[in-house]
Chain A
Amino acid sequence: EIVLTQSPATLSLSPGERATLSCRASQSVSSYLAWYQQKPGQAPRLLIYDASNRATGIPARFSGSGSGTDFTLTISSLEPEDFAVYYCQQRSSWPPLWTFGQGTKVEIK
C-alpha cells in the first residue's frame, strides 16, 4: 500500500506570501496525484490533478509539480481565502485503493 506523507504539518504565512507544500509517496505514483483544499465545515475541493493540471475554476496562483515520489503544491501569493487544510491523494491500480496524505494546514501568521 502506498503511503503519502505531507510536510510540513502546519505552515504559518502572511497574505501575499508564497506557500510551498510537499507530498512524498512511499513508492512511485508516476504523475497520478491530486491536491484538494478543505476549509472548516466544508467538503474538500479538487485543485490539481495529474500532479500539475488545474481543475475547472481553480485560480492560476495554484500550481502543482513533481512526478514519481515527490510532489509540490505552490500557492504563488496567498489570498485570505487560501488559508485552509490541503491534502494530496493518489489511486493505486492494485490493490485498488485511494489514499490521502495526512494534510497540511496553512494558517495566518
Chain B
Amino acid sequence: EVQLVESGGGLVQPGGSLRLSCAASGFTFSSYEMNWVRQAPGKGLEWVSYISSSGSTIYYADSVKGRFTISRDNAKNSLYLQMNSLRAEDTAVYYCARGQFERPGYFDYWGQGTLVTVSS
C-alpha cells in the first residue's frame, strides 16, 4: 500500500525556518517524481515545488522561490522541504504528492498533510 506521511509542521514566527519531511513507503520511491502542494486555511490548492526522481531537476512556484528548498534522499525514501524566511501567507497545510508514473504531471497519491502556522 502506498503511504506518504508528512511531519515537521508547527508554529513558527515570521522570518523563521522549518523543515518538512515526507516518509514514503509501499512503492519504489526512487522511480517517482515528487511534489509539495499547500492549502491555506479555507482556501484552494497551490503547487509549491517539484523534484525529479533523481533529484537533478527542481522547480518552484514564484511565491516561494529563493526561500524554500526541496530535496530528497532516495536511500531513506524521504522527501524534504526546507522553508526559510517564512511569512504569514505561508500558513497552510503542506501535502507531499507523488507524480503519476506514466503521467507525472498529475498527483496520484497524497499524504495527510502537515500544518504550518506562521504567526508571532
Which residues of A does B touch, CB under 8 Å? 32, 34, 36, 38, 42-46, 49-50, 55-56, 87, 89-91, 96-103
Contact = CB atoms under 8 A, between A and B. Distances in A.
Interface string B76-106: 0000000000000000000100001001011
A97 B59 CA distance: 8
Contact of B100 (A38, A49, A97): A49
Contacts of A103: 44-45
A98 B47 contact: yes
Contacts of B37: 98
A46 B59 CA distance: 22
Interface residues of B, number: 20
Do most interface residues of chain B lie in helix, strand or loop, or is the interface mixed?
strand
Nearest to A98: B47
B103 A98 contact: no
Contact of B105 (A36, A44, A45, A98): A98
A98 B111 contact: no
Contacts of B100: 46, 49
Given A43-B95, A43-B113, A100 B47 contact: yes
A90 B106 CA distance: 8
Given A96-B59, A97-B61, A55 B44 contact: no
B110 A50 contact: no
Nearest to B35: A98
A99 B47 contact: yes
A96 B95 CA distance: 19
